[in-house]
Structure 1
């Protein structure tokens, strides 16, 4: 069951717990004077000093008496975190796809961007509400729906998402830095620069993480407004979408699915950053602030990207840059500002670190969720391993960014939306009255077997495959829409899972009992 609200915490009394591996050590550590917990209200330098610079905690549950009481600004941090993490060049580049890859008009792309951002943000905001009430990381919460062993599938897929984001961010950042240097610096060097700075922030953990995200939005917003001012006159918002009506509809569905996937891909990490918030944090506040921060930032970035892409065909300098890379287009968009434009390009490149940090941090937590021995490996070690993996992948795939965008994001969107559907049904149908016992987070015998969830998850994937529209495979149903098909995978996958999970779960509870 959910634990009731509590009185003054040890943190408020000046007795702050350290990370421990068992209950006895945890009890002893509560008398320690150092802390590895983030602060949402203290000045940055006090937060870092108090944290001893490194968060030692991994996936162990943050107990109610270890939480921090926060002020209004502490809750505003929820919004700033997501706004900083997503008002970034990688999302601007994603906005390119509407006009450049699908031949959609600026208006069509803009409408899909707005509604796709809203839907995607709501998915991540929903899982975020579990962070304060449970004290558990998101992939630990998945055990309450998917079961002890099947949840590992979601963990693996989430690691792929987070490291995949690291790869995309590093490629975009590397492309921009290379273009700023007039291609005298290779993209690989730029990739390494982005990866190293990300690694530093994530190794320190949530203390530095929250400080970084608290302020990262400001220079990003300033540079994006400058970008709009200098590039806006070249936006072409009047041209029409290409293709017949059925083809245009199919392209709208496909780009809408991509925009949804990009935002909702944060759902498997939504609770990770809120585990130190007090247990009595209002769910509606967590949901609202997360939705606003993630939804507004992605929406703004997609619209700017769509505007730039709409002018590529009619702006020779942008067309030439487009032949090089997406990052080169962003640098070319600052033409006319001279050296200051180059400086803005550097800020835009380094801004992707704000997007890369949460994913790298959550990937490390994902590795710890895979089993007892990975859990014993310190989170900082997994952070380092993850950064090395996506740096290598980024270097290898640096010339195939659009293919990565179209295929990677769509595939991740399939499983996340299916898992979210199962989670929603578990909560509102089967746990509406009994709730959750968060103390069972590491008790295999008390968690569901997950047979029903696994079956529904796989059936949902069947629906997604039948309706997917990717370069390597187009499902038989997807082929029926327009000249080039439409990516219906999210919608059909969710439908299949939503229909099959409730009866299967009823049977599981009847015959298994949990």
Structure 2
């Protein structure tokens, strides 16, 4: 996928003239950043124009991509969809999810594997559904959210998505840093490894869509190769006969909690799923978009989760793995390559850089989200926001590098609640209220033509109330969660979705009757 080409100004004088005479926010066919650089010194405008004229740098921010600006239709478009998501998620930061089955929830190999396969399936379906709006609308996901939640309430979802993307990128940096440190035998600190991973993500995310798609098109190949080598190296120590611990009610509760956790991981991309399809033609088939996105997500998450479960199952019977896990999850992965010596360390380095493919789309979407938040955010070019996002998650990763497991467990579950609640609102608005009238995608920034959002906001808050009642976290256990099993289970996403699905239709009906939009 490539952004429409631009003709860069030939010299400084041409640049200065262009920024003084053209307001790109009023130029509908411009592929440059759509926002007016108000109250910015002319010298900064000049340098901004010069940077945006660089080859392959995506200048566009959140402006809608018009049909005539799209890429031509081809079968490769659909293949690229699957490759994008497969490449982005066949990375070891997702492998950490699989470790939780045997290590935290004390589930056996088969129980953990079944929860991983079906949990990732449900989460992938949710994200695949959200991906259909990009080519149809030409709008980014959090801009599309305005059609379902209203202009102002959608900013809540946008802010939460920024937090989610930053958190995921920080986790990826930590695991990549742990791997690089473990491969070096400790001569390279985790801090240096984290910085290296963050720099790679920064370079690709700053340039934007063209370089991003090219990177993701090929990044999966070495990852698949070294992960299958890991399966061959570590597989003999997987304990496939590992049994779940506890009575039947405790095991059932733990199955539900782990299945929910496996759901959250692929589902976390739902609020960014359309961002990468805005240059696809309007004729792009929704069902093909859904299937190819689903295939890329499910295959990658299921494979990596199962590999994580295998490593976790072998810790109890493999002393070197238990010792390595005591250091970090990255050291555990390096230990899995232990029998291959120098070649195994080389494979571990490839695995470490695989987290970059996961961090790049997160950085890109978080930068776009910063523009969606308001007119002042929109006035800052996307590439600058990408730099800010990288700095933020780099600081977070450095601060949390010694508490990865706790961060991952609590952060992933908590952020997973709101996305599924948001998807419930989108689904009902789409199927119940927009089935006949459709959408006017040209109204993406016109508050008077977008829904008021009162119904969506109330339903969203009610969903959060249900999530709080059903959540099971280290720092809080909901009143409903504690009723399941002997020790409780994570019901947050299920109760939250139930509250939203029941409350939104009548509230939306009243809103339409009162405001007509």
Distance 1:276 1:391 in 2: 30
For residues 138 and 16 of structure 1, what CA distance do their matches in structure 2 show?
Answer: 28
Q: State yes or no: 1:366 paired with 2:362.
A: no
Instruction: Check whether the contact 1:145–1:423 (CA below 8 A) recurs between aligned residues.
Output: yes
- 2:410 maps to 407
Out of 215, 218, 221, which is 2:218 matched to?
A: 215
Tell me how far apart the structure 1 counterparts of residues 259 and 318 of structure 2 sit (CA, whole Å). 26
Whether the 8 Å CA contact 1:145–1:426 is kept in 2: the answer is yes
1:162 pairs with 162, 165, 177, which one?
165
Of 23, 27, 30, which residue of structure 2 is paired with 1:25?
27
CA drift of 1:476 comes to 1.1
Report how far residue 159 of structure 1 moved.
0.1
Does the 8 Å contact 1:148/1:449 carry over to 2? yes
For structure 2, the 5+ residue unaligned runs are: 10-18, 33-52
Of 274, 279, 284 in structure 2, the residue corresponding to residue 276 of structure 1 is 279
Return closer, same or farther for 1:192/1:488 CA change in 2, 3 Å cut-off. same
* Structure 2 match to 1:43: none
SS at match of 2:340: coil
What's the secondary structure of 1:427's corresponding residue?
A: helix
CA positional deviation for 1:70: 3.4
1:233-264 CA distances to partner (integer Å, 9 max, x unpaired)? 00001021001111111111111111111110
1:73: how far off?
1.9
1:417 and 2:420 aligned: yes
In structure 2, how many angstroms separate the alpha carbons of the residues matched to 1:379 and 1:506? 37
1:263-305 CA-to-partner distances (Å, cap 9, x unmatched) read 1010000000000000000000000000000011000000000
Matched, 1:247 2:253: no
Partners of 1:16 and 1:66 within 8 A in 2 = no
Residue by residue over 1:393-440, the C-alpha shift from the partner in whole angstroms, topping out at 9 and shown as x without a partner, is: 011111111111211111111100000000100010000100000000
Contact 1:17 1:26 in 2 (8 A): no
Give the structure 2 partner of residue 135 of structure 1: 138
Q: Any conservation in 1 of the 2:31–2:59 contact (CA below 8 Å)?
A: no
Does residue 1:90 correspond to 2:93, yes or no? yes
Distance 1:27 1:110, change over 3 A: closer
Tell me the residue number matched to 2:197.
194
**Residue 68, structure 1, aligned to residue 68, structure 2:** no
Deviations 1:357-387 (A, max 9, x none): 0000000000000001100101011101100
CA separation of 1:247 and 1:17: change in aligned 2, threshold 3 A: farther
Query: How far did residue 183 of structure 1 move?
Result: 1.1
CA distance in 1, matches of 2:63, 2:31: 14
- Partners of 2:473 and 2:208 in 1: how far apart? 36
Task: Name the structure 2 match of 1:5.
Answer: none
Choose from 492, 500, 507 the match for 2:510.
507
1:17/1:66 contact within 8 Å kept? no
Aligned partners of 1:137, 1:216: CA distance in 2, in Å?
Answer: 24
Q: C-alpha deviations, 1:147-168, integer Å up to 9, x for none?
A: 1111110000000110011111
Q: 1:301 aligned to 2:304?
A: yes
Q: Distance in 1 between matches of 2:243 and 2:223?
A: 31
How big is the shift at 1:483? 2.4
Query: Could you tell me whether the CA contact under 8 Å between 2:29 and 2:66 is conserved in 1?
Result: no
1:461 & 1:327 partners in 2: Cα distance?
Answer: 34
After TM superposition, give the deviation of residue 348 of structure 1 in Å. 0.3
Task: Say which of 392, 397, 400 aligns to 1:394.
Answer: 397
Aligned partner of 1:266 in structure 2 is 269
CA–CA distance in 2 between the matches of 1:465 and 1:93?
Answer: 25
* 1:16–1:298 Cα change, 3 Å: farther
Deviation (angstroms), 1:22: 4.1
CA RMSD of aligned residues (A): 2.0
Name which of 109, 112, 115 aligns with 2:115.
Answer: 112
Count of residues in correspondence between the two structures: 486
TM-score, normalising length from structure 2? 0.91
Taking structure 1 as the reference length, the TM-score comes to 0.92
Distance 1:17 1:455, change over 3 A: farther
Secondary structure of the structure 2 residue equivalent to 1:448: coil
Q: Distance in 2 between matches of 1:28 and 1:22?
A: 7
Tell me the distance in 2 between the aligned counterparts of 1:342 and 1:186.
16
Match 1:477 to one of 480, 502, 505: 480
d(CA) in 1 for partners of 2:375, 2:23: 12
- Asked if 1:286 corresponds to 2:289, the answer is yes
